[in-house]
């Protein structure tokens, strides 16, 4: 059995984890500014849908060439992280908006959010970390950088 504390998560399992949860973070760069925002979302297949209000998050995510979406979990015995890269688009057609309104997206705070954004994921990856006691640093050989 592989004793490594870090294991890659298959793309299929990454997509299942995305679909099983509802809170994550989006990150994007606009010019020289890197932004990270928490979002409540709904995942289906390779699509992430979230609601927002007009403002920095909406404008920035739509201007960005690449959007990163991340979820993670830290438990007693293991932790994991799933990251997806893709592009975002504003849902504008009445059919898309009506479908998005039926999704179970539950905001953490009671604010009006009428704008819907969909991130189409081009790439998804994940890693699982088996939590173990930290190794004894004194047992590790020191590296001599003068060699």
Is the pLDDT at 14 greater than 60, yes or no?
yes
Is the pLDDT at 147 greater than 60, yes or no?
no
Is the pLDDT at 141 greater than 60, yes or no?
yes
List of residues 6+ apart from 4 with CB closer than 8 A: none
For 103-127, what is the mean pLDDT? 92
* pLDDT one-digit tens code per residue, 39-84: 999 999 999 999 999 988 999 999 998 999 999 999 988 899 999 9
Q: Is the pTM of this model over 0.85?
A: no
Q: Which residues of 77-99 are buried (b: 16+ CB within 10 A; e: fewer)?
A: eeebbbbbebebeebeeeeeeee
pLDDT band, residue 139 (cuts 50/70/90): low
């Amino acid at each position: 059995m592989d004793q490594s504390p870090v294991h890659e998560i298959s793309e299929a399992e990454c997509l299942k984890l995305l679909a099983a949860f509802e809170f994550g973070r989006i990150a994007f760069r606009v010019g020289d500014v890197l932004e990270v925002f928490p979002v409540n979302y709904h995942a289906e297949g390779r699509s992430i849908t979230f609601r927002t209000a007009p403002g920095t998050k909406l404008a920035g995510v739509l201007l960005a060439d690449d959007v990163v979406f991340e979820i993670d979990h830290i438990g007693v015995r293991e932790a994991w992280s799933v990251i997806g890269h893709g592009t975002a688009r504003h849902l504008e057609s009445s059919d898309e908006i009506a479908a998005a309104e039926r999704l179970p997206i539950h905001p953490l705070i009671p604010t009006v959010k009428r704008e819907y954004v969909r991130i189409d994921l081009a790439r998804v990856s994940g890693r699982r970390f088996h939590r173990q006691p930290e190794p004894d640093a004194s047992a590790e050989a020191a590296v001599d950088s003068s060699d």
